[in-house]
Amino acid sequence: MAIEVKVTANFAKLIGGERSTRAEGGTIGEVLDDLDQRHPGFKQNVVAEGRIHRFVNVYLNDEDVRFLQQLDTPIREGDVVSVLPALAGG
């Protein structure tokens, strides 16, 4: 199933400059794998040691997947995945 994946400008450089793309998969991990097949190197910027990199946030319909099932979070038709760098400030 194809779902929409939105990214920030930093990640857009890795997928041909677009801020949004479609990807296939039934879980967050499968979607990232699909993006990496079409855009080699994408996944290594999002996942480290089998987990979402601590300086990257991945959201499924505005919910942080770290509080769901992480890479195993299931995706349904119509869902939107967002990938963005974590922000810190003070």
Q: What is the pLDDT of residue 55?
A: 92
Any idea which architecture 2-85 has in CATH? Roll (3.10)
Strands of 63-64's sheet, edge to edge?
20-24, 2-7, 80-85, 56-60, 63-64
> pTM higher than 0.75, yes or no?
yes
Task: Quick: pLDDT tens for 33-85.
Answer: 999 999 999 999 999 999 999 999 999 999 999 999 999 999 999 999 999 99
CB 77 within 8 Å of CB 70: no
**What residue spans define the domains of the chain?**
2-85
Residue 62, number of CB atoms within 10 A of its CB: 7
Place of tokens 């963005």: 84
Residue 24, number of CB atoms within 10 A of its CB: 15
Place of tokens 């991945």: 58
Strand pairing report for 63-64 and 47-48: unpaired
Q: What is the pLDDT of residue 68?
A: 97
